[in-house]
C-alpha cells in the first residue's frame, strides 16, 4: 500500500498489494489517466499515451499548449462535458448563464495517512489511520468556480481503491451540478466482457456476461432504490478470464438510490467506465460556499480471476463497511413467523412457535408484519407504529417477558419509510408523502412513500420507532421497504430544486438509519426491500445483513445466492429454511437440502416449527448445531464458486475456506439428476501439502489431491439431493 507523487514528472502512483493505478498532470493542467491493472514497478508510463493528430474529427484544446490535443481521444482521469470530450462524461455544471460547458484543471493535491468519512453518506472506514493512505486532488473550473476534489484511498492488505468526489462552489453565484459520477476510468483497449447482476422481485442478481460492444452500455436504476432489477455493481473481465485465472476489475457503488454505471467503447477501441448517481432526474443547486459530496465507489483489481475479485470485495465489505456489535460475533439463529402465520397471529400463536423452537436450539423469535395499528392485511396502518393490543395483550413488553422466560430473544418488523393511505399518519399529514400536485398518487401495496427530504418527517419516524424499541427487550429489527418511488416531488423544496428530491430522500434514509443504529447499538438491524431490492454497500454500512430474496425455494436460492456472491459475502446474506411446498414456487424440496442451502448465509427458519414432524425437528437440531460449528468458516472465510448453476442445469456447488485454511466447507445441490452422469468436482483454496480429513467418512486427502484430482461424489442422485462436506486439516 503506497501513494507517491513524482514532482519532476508530475505523476501520481497508487499501489495496492497487487495492483497499480497511475495518472499524470499533463498539458497545462489536464489530469490524464495512464494505467490501472496488475502491479508495475515503473511510474513513468506517459509513453502509453499517443498524441494522435486530428483523427477523431474532434476539435482540439488550445489551452493544452500544443496543436491537435483533442480531449476526445485522450485518456482522462475525470472527464467533463461540453469542451471537446464527446464520450460519456463524469461531471458537468450548469452556470447562471444556462450553459453546461465544464473544464477541470489541476490546482493542488495532498497525500495523507488515514481515510476521511463522507458527510451524510456511508463509506469504507479504518479504525487506525496507519491502515490507509489517501490522495486528494483539487481541480477547478475557472468559469463556473466549481472546485472538485477527487479522493483516492487504499487500505493495507487489499487490492482496492476507494474513490469519491466533493464539489465546492467557490464563486459568488449559485450553479447547478448536472452530473457528478464517483469514478471514471479509461482503458486503452476494448478486450473485455461486462458482468452485471440483473433480476426482478424473487429472482435477484442473476449473472449476465457479454463482450463489450462499440458504443455505450448502461446498468442503472431510477426507482429511488438500487432495485431488484439492476445491482450497483459491474465488472470488466478479459475475454479469457475464468473464476480462477485472468484479469478482473470490479466496481461497486456505496449508494442505495438511483445509480448509473456506463461503459463506452469508442472508435479507437478505448474503453471508459463511469459509475455514480444517475444523472436522470438529478440536478443539485449549489450555493456559494456550499459543498456537495458524491457517494463512494470501490474499485477492485484481481489477477486471479473473478473469484479473486469477489473475495477482495467480500473482505472489504466484511471488514471495512459493516460496523457495530454484530460485525464480528455470531448472529442469533432466528425463527420468523411470516410464512407460518402471515397476518393471522396473536400472542398465543407466537408463543406456541417459540416453545417449539427453543428445544431445537433456535435463539430468537422475529414477529413480522401485522403487529401494529389495525393491520390485518396490506390495506392499512403502516406508519402507525403503535402495538395492536387486541393481538398482543399487554403489548411487546408482555410478549418479550414470556419469550425471555423461555430463553429466547425477540425481534420485529418495521417499514419506516412508508405510509398507508388508510392510516392515522396519512390522515393527519397527507403532505408528508412524496407527491407532485396535479398528479394522482400512485398506489403500491396501498401505500405511498414518506418524504424523507423533510427533517420533521424523519424526526417523527425516529421518535415513533424509538418509542417502540424502548418499550420492550428488543434485540433485532427487520427494516423493510416494499415500494419504489413515484411522483417524486416535495413541498419542502422550491421549484428549481425538485430534482434534488431523489438524492435528498436517500440522505434522509441514511440519517434515520444512522440515528437508530447508534441509539440502539445492541440491536441487530437487518435490511430488506421486498427481499433483495436494496442490496448494496450503502445499506451494509448500517445493516450487517439483508434479506437476500423473498424467494426461499432452495433451487432458486442456489442461483440467487451464487449470483449475489459475485460481489457480496455470505455474512450479509440472510437465508432461511422455509416450508415445503415452497410458498413462492410451489416446489417440494427435501428438508435437508433446504437447510444446506440456507446454511450459506445468516441462518434462520421461516415456517411453523410447531407442526413439523419429529424427524424434521431432529434435522433442525442438527442444522442449528452444524451452523454454529461452521459459522466462522462460512461467514468469515473465503468463498470459492465451484459449479455455476447459471451454466450447469444439473447441479451447483460452492465452498468456504477458513482464513487460516484449516477447514473447508463444501456444499453441492443436485438440481436435475442424470442417470448416465458422474459427479466429479475439485476443491479450491487449500494448502497443497496439508492433510485434510472429511468429517463424515473419516477419509483423508492431501490438499493438492483435493484441488487437482478432486472428488468422485458418485452417481446415484435424485433431484434435490444435497450434501455439506467438511474437511478439517489434521
Q: Which residues are annotated as catalytic?
A: 480, 550
Give me the half-sphere count of Cα atoms (radius 13 Å) on the Cβ side of residue 633: 28
- Rounded Cα distance between 81 and 254, Å, is 24
DSSP, residue by residue, 505-562: HHHHHHHHHHHHHHHSTTSEEEE-BTTBTT-SHHHHTT-SEEE--S---HHHHHHHHH
Sole residue written with cell 513524482:
6
C-alpha cell at 460: 417523527
- Rounded Cα distance between 535 and 538, Å, is 8
Beta bridge partners of 15: 2, 20
Sequence-distant (6+) residues with CB within 8 A of 629 are: none
Question: Which candidate, 697, 690, 699, 684, places its Cα nearest to that of 654?
Answer: 684
- Rounded Cα distance between 221 and 485, Å, is 11
DSSP-derived 3-state class of residue 645? coil
DSSP-derived 3-state class of residue 81? coil
Sequence-distant (6+) residues with CB within 8 A of 169 are: 145, 146, 147, 175, 286, 287, 288, 289, 290, 291
Calculate Rg over the CA atoms of the chain.
Answer: 27
Question: Which candidate, 395, 391, 358, places its Cα nearest to that of 374?
Answer: 391
Pick left, alpha or beta for residue 394 (phi over 0 → left; psi -120 to 50 → alpha; otherwise beta): left
Q: Report the Cα 606 to chain-centroid distance in Å.
A: 24
Rounded to a whole number of angstroms, the distance between the first and last alpha carbons of the chain is 35
Residues 346-354: contacts with CB under 8 Å, at least 24 apart: 346/391, 346/392, 347/391, 347/392, 347/393, 347/398, 347/399, 347/402, 350/399, 351/399, 351/402, 351/403, 351/406, 352/610, 353/608, 353/609, 353/610, 354/403, 354/406, 354/408
Instruction: Calculate the alpha carbon distances from 133 to 42, 77, 603 in Å.
Output: 20, 19, 36
Cβ 82 vs Cβ 260: under 8 Å? no
Q: What is the largest CA-CA distance in the chain?
A: 83
DSSP, residue by residue, 609-634: TTSS-HHHHHHHHHHHHHHHHHHHHH
Beta strands in 259-352 (DSSP E): 259-265, 271-277, 284-286, 291-293, 297-302, 334-336
C-alpha cell at 724: 455439506
Question: Which candidate, 686, 680, 688, 689, places its Cα nearest to that of 727?
Answer: 686
Task: Output helix, strand, coil percentages for the chain, rounded to the nearest 5.
Answer: 20, 35, 45
Q: Where are the alpha helices (DSSP H) in 273-365?
A: 305-320, 338-341, 347-357
- Rounded Cα distance between 111 and 129, Å, is 13
Question: Which candidate, 276, 292, 258, 262, places its Cα nearest to that of 488?
Answer: 258
Instruction: Calculate the alpha carbon distances from 224 to 281, 504, 647, 711 in Å.
Output: 10, 11, 32, 47
- Rounded Cα distance between 608 and 325, Å, is 29
Burial 46-72 (b: 16+ CB within 10 A, else e): eeebeeeeeebebebbeebeeeebbbb
C-alpha cell at 321: 463497511
Amino acid at each position: 500500500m503506497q501513494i507517491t507523487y513524482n514532482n519532476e514528472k508530475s505523476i501520481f502512483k497508487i499501489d495496492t498489494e497487487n495492483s497499480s493505478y497511475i495518472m499524470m498532470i499533463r498539458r497545462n493542467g489536464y489530469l490524464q489517466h495512464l494505467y490501472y491493472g496488475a502491479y508495475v514497478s515503473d511510474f513513468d508510463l506517459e509513453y502509453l499515451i499517443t498524441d494522435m493528430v486530428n483523427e477523431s474529427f474532434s476539435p482540439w484544446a488550445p489551452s493544452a499548449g500544443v496543436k491537435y490535443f483533442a480531449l476526445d481521444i485522450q485518456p482522462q482521469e475525470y472527464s467533463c462535458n461540453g469542451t471537446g470530450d464527446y464520450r460519456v462524461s463524469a461531471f458537468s455544471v450548469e452556470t447562471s448563464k444556462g450553459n453546461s460547458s465544464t473544464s477541470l484543471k489541476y490546482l493542488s493535491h495532498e497525500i495523507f495517512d488515514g481515510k476521511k468519512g463522507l458527510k451524510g453518506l456511508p463509506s469504507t472506514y479504518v479504525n487506525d489511520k496507519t491502515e490507509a493512505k489517501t490522495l486528494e486532488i483539487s481541480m477547478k473550473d475557472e468559469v463556473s468556480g466549481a472546485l472538485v476534489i477527487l479522493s483516492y484511498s487504499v487500505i493495507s492488505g487489499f487490492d482496492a481503491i476507494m474513490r469519491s468526489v466533493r464539489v465546492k462552489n467557490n464563486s459568488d453565484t449559485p450553479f447547478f451540478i448536472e452530473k457528478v459520477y464517483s469514478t471514471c476510468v479509461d482503458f486503452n483497449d476494448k478486450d473485455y466482457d461486462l458482468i452485471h447482476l440483473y433480476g426482478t422481485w424473487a429472482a435477484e442478481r442473476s449473472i449476465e456476461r457479454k463482450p463489450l460492444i462499440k458504443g455505450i452500455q448502461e446498468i442503472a436504476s431510477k426507482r429511488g432504490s438500487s432495485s431488484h432489477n439492476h445491482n450497483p455493481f459491474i465488472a470488466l473481465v478479459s475475454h479469457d478470464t475464468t473464476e480462477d485465472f485472468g484479469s478482473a476489475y470490479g466496481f461497486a457503488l456505496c449508494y442505495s438510490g438511483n445509480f448509473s454505471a456506463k461503459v463506452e467503447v469508442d472508435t479507437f477501441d478505448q474503453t471508459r467506465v463511469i459509475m455514480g448517481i444517475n444523472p436522470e432526474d438529478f440536478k443539485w443547486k449549489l450555493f456559494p460556499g456550499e459543498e456537495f459530496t458524491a457517494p463512494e465507489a470501490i474499485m477492485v483489481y484481481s489477477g486471479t480471476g473473478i473469484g479473486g475479485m469477489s473475495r477482495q470485495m467480500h473482505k472489504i465489505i466484511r471488514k471495512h463497511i459493516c460496523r457495530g456489535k454484530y460485525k464480528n460475533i455470531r448472529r442469533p439463529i432466528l425463527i420468523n413467523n411470516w410464512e407460518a402465520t402471515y397476518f393471522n397471529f396473536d400472542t398465543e400463536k407466537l408463543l406456541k412457535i417459540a416453545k417449539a423452537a427453543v428445544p431445537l436450539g433456535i435463539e430468537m423469535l422475529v414477529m413480522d408484519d401485522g403487529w401494529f395499528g389495525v393491520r390485518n392485511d396490506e390495506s392499512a396502518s403502516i406508519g402507525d407504529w403503535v402495538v395492536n393490543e387486541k393481538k398482543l395483550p399487554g403489548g411487546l413488553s408482555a410478549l418479550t417477558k414470556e419469550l425471555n422466560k423461555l430463553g429466547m430473544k425477540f425481534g420485529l418488523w418495521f417499514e419506516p419509510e412508508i405510509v398507508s393511505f388508510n392510516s392515522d399518519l396519512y390522515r393527519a399529514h397527507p403532505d408528508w408523502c412524496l407527491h407532485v400536485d396535479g398528479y394522482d398518487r400512485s398506489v403500491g401495496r396501498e401505500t405511498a412513500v414518506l418524504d424523507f427530504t423533510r427533517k420533521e418527517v424523519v424526526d417523527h419516524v425516529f421518535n415513533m420507532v424509538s418509542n417502540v424499541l424502548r418499550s420492550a427487550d428488543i434485540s433485532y429489527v427487520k427494516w423493510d421497504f416494499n415500494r419504489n418511488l413515484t411522483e417524486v416531488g416535495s413541498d419542502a423544496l422550491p421549484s428549481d430544486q425538485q430534482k434534488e428530491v431523489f438524492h435528498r430522500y436517500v440522505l434522509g434514509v441514511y440519517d434515520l438509519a444512522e440515528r437508530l443504529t447508534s441509539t440502539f447499538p445492541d440491536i441487530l438491524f437487518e435490511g430488506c426491500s421486498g427481499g433483495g431490492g436494496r442490496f448494496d454497500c450503502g445499506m451494509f454500512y448500517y445493516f450487517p445483513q439483508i434479506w437476500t430474496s423473498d424467494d426461499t425455494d432452495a433451487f432458486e436460492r442456489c442461483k440467487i445466492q451464487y449470483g449475489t456472491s459475485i460481489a457480496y459475502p455470505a455474512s450479509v446474506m440472510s437465508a432461511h429454511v422455509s416450508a415445503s411446498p415452497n410458498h413462492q414456487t410451489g416446489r417440494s424440496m427435501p428438508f435437508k437440502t433446504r437447510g444446506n442451502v440456507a446454511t450459506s448465509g445468516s441462518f434462520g427458519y421461516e415456517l411453523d416449527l410447531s407442526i413439523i414432524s419429529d424427524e424434521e425437528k431432529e434435522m433442525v437440531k442438527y442444522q442449528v448445531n452444524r451452523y454454529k460449528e461452521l459459522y466462522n468458516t462460512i461467514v468469515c472465510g473465503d468463498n470459492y464458486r465451484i459449479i455455476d448453476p447459471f451454466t450447469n442445469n444439473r447441479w451447483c456447488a460452492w465452498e468456504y475456506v477458513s482464513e487460516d485454511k484449516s477447514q473447508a466447507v463444501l456444499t453441492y445441490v443436485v438440481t436435475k439428476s442424470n442417470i448416465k452422469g458422474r459427479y466429479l468436482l475439485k476443491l479450491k483454496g487449500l494448502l497443497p501439502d496439508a492433510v485434510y480429513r472429511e468429517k463424515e467418512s473419516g477419509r483423508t486427502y492431501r490438499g493438492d489431491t483435493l484441488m487437482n484430482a478432486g472428488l468422485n461424489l458418485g452417481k446415484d442422485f435424485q433431484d434435490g439431493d444435497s450434501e455439506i462436506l467438511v474437511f478439517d486439516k489434521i
